[in-house]
Amino acid sequence: MFRPEIKVLDCTVRDGGLINQWQFNDAFVRKVFVALSQAGVDYMEIGYKSSEKCFSRTENGAWKFCSEDDLKRVVGNMETTMKLSAMADIGRIEHEDIPRKSESALDMIRVACYAKEVDKAISLAHHCMEKGYETTINLMAVSKVLEKELDEALEDLAKSEVPVIYLVDSFGAMYSEQVLFFAKKYREALPGKELGIHTHNNQQLAFSNTIDGIVAGINRLDSTIYGMGRGAGNCPTELLLSFLKNPKFDIRPIIAIIQEIFIPLKAKVEWGYHIPYMITGILNEHPRSGMKAMAAEKLPDLRRFYEDLKDGAPLE
């Protein structure tokens, strides 16, 4: 599957940080940066751009904020063609928290929002563009959105100046048919826009759903090293780069860092396919209840967990 237009964004530190509150030390982030750069990955999403009025640095690591001091301390003057990205959630950052691109190590800011917040997302993305950044809008949890509401959001996005719009399977609930349905809907509703896809692995479909997105013409692809990400994790970078058959990609640095860092880390910090995440995925529910179950000293009765979540009962 060689298509030169395809660009890969690795969001290991950003999405993986949802597991450990972004408590990655500088050496870890630097090694990820170097490995991704050597592998030929197009973008590294190094964390969130968040307001310190909304979050505490005592509870969250540096990569929840991506201050310029933190970025420059880790990335420094290392030469690379890989670009740096950060994600901004609507309601968790102010316009004044974002410096001009000329004063930042970041190249791109991706704005994440729900369909009901699309007007605010467009405003923030336009603000970032005016400051010189590349931008995308990542429309989250579309598997739960009513079609009329999604159509209205896509209509607003079509009128915006934002060049890239992401299809996001936030709950790991989609199957091939839904990926193809949404990709067609986005493509028809957003002429002239580039499309991206971000998948989660609750049903062990993150990689295959990303492939379906590629087949449907999506050229911006999200992935994470060893699939590290919130809950069940994401499409693995090492699988995706291998599939793409682009000679610019070299998976050897990714394999090396998996052995050096990620296999030992996975023994301490759990992510990946597990039954509680499968249950939230097949029921198209937010993975927070699955994360709570996995964090407990003892797993709950999984049959009851499934039945309670299916019936909408409050989970203990």
Residue 31 tokens read as 């090694």
Domain ranges of the chain: 7-266, 275-311
| Percent over 90 (pLDDT), the chain | 94
How confident is residue 314, by pLDDT bands cut at 50, 70 and 90?
low
**pLDDT on residue 164:** 98
How confident is the model over 296-309, as pLDDT tens digits? 999 999 999 999 99
Question: Taking a C-beta distance cutoff of 8 angstroms, is the pair 141, 106 a contact?
Answer: no
Strand runs (DSSP E) across 126-180, as ranges? Answer: 134-139, 164-168
Residue 156 tokens read as 């607003």
pTM above 0.85, yes or no: yes
Question: Taking a C-beta distance cutoff of 8 angstroms, is the pair 84, 49 a contact?
Answer: no
**pLDDT on residue 77:** 80
CATH class of 7-266: alpha beta
3-class secondary-structure state, position 3: coil
How confident is residue 312, by pLDDT bands cut at 50, 70 and 90?
confident
How confident is the model over 216-260, as pLDDT tens digits? 999 999 999 999 999 999 999 999 999 999 999 999 999 999 999
How confident is the model over 83-106, as pLDDT tens digits? 999 999 999 999 999 999 999 999
Q: Span 56-64, mean pLDDT?
A: 95
Question: Taking a C-beta distance cutoff of 8 angstroms, is the pair 13, 47 a contact?
Answer: yes
Given a cut of 80, is residue 161 above it in pLDDT?
yes
3-class secondary-structure state, position 288: helix
Listing DSSP states for 260-279 in one string gives: IIIHHHHTTS--S--HHHHH
